[in-house]
Structure 1
């Protein structure tokens, strides 16, 4: 079974301990999480976990089924990279003297799509938003200029398909059996029958 990169979008309620339950499912199956992001979603009180794994399709499909059995989980979407729009952000800290002396900063900003977010006498911090290739290309370039620090965010992703989870959650809400009206008169009679 060949492995490939999958992005899981898990829509959940925001309950304490949920991340532990989800992480345990990965640990039991010896699946490494390459990236993890959590944030509010487009629906009030519904949160979204975005996880990246490299695994076979069969293993990931079984994992998705198990995650969806958790009480707090509404829906899990499993997508390949061509089914999503995704980005990451990276920050790079370099000595200002080195970068200013050797190159024209404007050229770097244009060439790599970078933005200078902090410029101080002792260091400059650049920001790049993009995919791994873009982020790594700038990282390799800055290694030549005494790179002091580098950090990359987790992946955020939106599914290319037009319908997201919103419609599914509304349908689930409409089909929730706990929201059916209760006939108190019927329950009273039923109780009376059992009392005799």
Structure 2
């Protein structure tokens, strides 16, 4: 039976140890799975960090990868969720020539219509910031590409689950144990 390949958000709650990122990426590399997005940050608990990884795989692969992650010493817990089970966003920044802001009236309409915001302006360039779903960011990039983009960067997905996760109590216990 062929399982459907879909987008999964894998969350890893970890200790902050050197070399963990290499081991995380190696698990995907061994399985020839491309990471679409990867973000790391402090979690809701002090000294516990969270990886948010987006991959396009089957549910069986997601379950197997989560089990593999939980075998890593530094990984406290690992979870996977579908897009429908999460609330997620990405953010990006565009650097564009300032002259366009005044010479191309359409640019101001694009900014307004995309719900993006200008974070800085100087004589040479302005910087635009946009948060939203990937397709919204890609649409804005296509619209601005016509005028020339000096620089573009998109951050990885950040996500929380729609359902309550009982991970906080477990993480607090871990944190208290290690202090």
Alignment TM-score > 0.5, same fold = yes
* Shift in Å, 1:167: 2.3
Partner of 1:42: 44
Partner of 1:15: 17
Match of 2:50, SS state, is: strand
Partner of 2:135: 133
Counterpart contact for 2:110–2:143, Cα < 8 Å: no
Select the structure that is richer in strand. Answer: 2
Partner of 1:61: 63
Match of 1:145, SS state, is: coil
Structure 1 residues 162-171 or 87-96, which shifts more?
A: 162-171
**TM-score with structure 2 setting the length:** 0.90
Instruction: Name stretches of at least 5 consecutive residues in structure 2 with no aligned partner.
Output: none
* Shift in Å, 1:164: 4.5
38 and 5 in structure 1: CA distance in 2 versus 1, 3 angstrom threshold: same
How many residue pairs get aligned? The number is 176
Greater radius of gyration (CA): 1
111 and 172 in structure 1: CA distance in 2 versus 1, 3 angstrom threshold: same
Output aligned runs, 1:49-88, within 5 Å: 49-88=51-90
Partner of 1:100: 102
CA RMSD across the alignment: 2.0
Select the structure that is richer in helix. Answer: 1
- 1 CA distance for matches of 2:20 and 2:175? 21
